[in-house]
Amino acid sequence: MTDVVLKRDKEKAVFQRHPWVFSGAIERVKGKPTNGDIVRLLNHKGEFMAYGFYNDQSRVALRLLEWNEETEVNEAWFRAKVATAVNARADILNEQTNTCRLIFSEADYLPGLIVDKYADHLAVQILTSGIEKMMPVIMDELRQLLNPLSIFDKSDASSRQHEGLETDNTVLWGDEPPSSVEVKENGIIYSINIAEGQKSGFYCDQRDNRRILAAHTKGKKVLDCFSYTGGFTLNALHNGAASVTSVDSSALAIETLKQNISLNKFDAEKHTAIQSDVNKQLRAFKEAGDKFDVIVLDPPKYAPSRSALDRAARAYKDLNRIGMSLLNSGGLLATFSCSGAMDMEQFKQVLAWAALDAGKQVQFIYQFCQPECHPVRASFPEGEYLKGLLCRVW
Ligand code: SAH
């Protein structure tokens, strides 16, 4: 095994069990490891610190796996981590819900591996060369634990590029998953297109938030912006919303949303789907004098990095300002940010600015977060990305 020596002043994060070592923190590499190899990280005195995946193509040159020198990071180690993560989701899966994230990368001690369950099908993302090398073992363990009908590679191309990996979305095991896999979440049926859908097919990170918001929608006129295939829309209809309007720019999302309405036998009369840019559509509502009782704003990630934060903050503020102005007095705004670079305090600040600009009074009545299938590891705060606020607006 190759030894990698850390710079003298870079020990703290490793000691605190943060799983990333940036290339700039490395003093020297003794030997020539191949990307994806497991190496031994030493401090400047030559003492063992951790084992990790090596990749000289990535800014994160080491992804640490194990801090105990006696624990060998072998096949059994990977099998145990996979089994622990999968078994930890047992309480989420039941008659009402057969879809969730089974493995969430660093948070589940498997840096670069994401596994999502869609009923009997699995969608995986392989984002590091180390995980790519271990995939035969990981797939074998997943098959033993879950006996899936298919395992589909849905790796995100840009993340793979950062690691110098090629991109090829293909079936890794079993048959090609059907273009419509029916899953259940909170008792609601969704058609998932694993191969063509966004991310791995579905945003299961909003499962709890959809349910929590739905409790406030009975008899209400609801607007679901950035609806995708209708997570918030369907939960609101399920809970007796008077009407729901869904807006998304993706044609496939809108088409699937309509399919989901009929799969659940919801009253199509109560639903309007608009394929449009949300910013344009909100302005159109404003001009037409349309108002709503509950508005959901669940935009894509506006801040991909810290450097994009200022611009993103302005975009979030504008979006929320116009959203607030479309609410009936005392209405509810459920607003989200999935930008990891923006924390809850900053998000509240953005909402305070939006309220000021809109001339509205705003109370935060609930704070949304990511669900338990997207855990945040104490030593890896970067894994926390989804936050939201339920606001009462006057
Ligand atoms: N709320 C959804 C998830 C939203 S993901 C759910 O519960 O499943 C973000 C969505 O925003 C995607 O469906 C994407 O197609 C859509 N989108 C991105 N930019 C948009 C824009 N400018 N106008 C409308 N929709 C947009």
Per-domain residue ranges for the chain?
Answer: 3-66, 75-181, 203-393
Instruction: Read off the pLDDT band of 334 (50, 70, 90).
Output: very high
* Span 206-221, average pLDDT: 98
Q: Residue 50 C-alpha to ligand 1 middle, in angstroms?
A: 40
Ligand 1 atom with the smallest distance to the CA of 228 is: 13
131-167 as b/e: b if 16+ CB within 10 A: bbbbbebbbebbeeebebbbbbbbbbeebbeebebee
Instruction: Read off the pLDDT band of 294 (50, 70, 90).
Output: very high
Q: Is 167 a residue whose pLDDT tops 90?
A: no
Q: Residue 224 C-alpha to ligand 1 middle, in angstroms?
A: 10
Q: Is 371 a residue whose pLDDT tops 80?
A: yes
Q: Is 250 in the pocket of ligand 1 (CB under 6 A)?
A: yes
- Is domain 75-181 annotated with CATH 3.30.750.80? yes
Q: Considering just the CA atoms, what is the radius of gyration of the chain in Å? A: 23
Domain boundaries 3-66, CATH class: mainly beta
Q: Is 157 a residue whose pLDDT tops 90?
A: no
Better pLDDT: 175 or 169 = 175
Q: Say what the pTM is.
A: 0.97
Q: Which contacts (CB < 8 Å, 24+ apart) does range 314-319 have? A: 316/342, 316/347, 316/350, 316/354, 317/350, 317/353, 317/354, 317/357, 318/279, 318/354, 319/278, 319/279, 319/282
The tally of CA atoms less than 13 A away on the side-chain side of residue 275 is 10
203-393 and 3-66 share a CATH fold: no
Q: Is 168 a residue whose pLDDT tops 80?
A: no
Q: Is 206 in the pocket of ligand 1 (CB under 6 A)?
A: yes
Instruction: Read off the pLDDT band of 215 (50, 70, 90).
Output: very high
Task: Tell me the CATH number for domain 203-393.
Answer: 3.40.50.150
What pLDDT score was predicted for residue 38?
Answer: 98
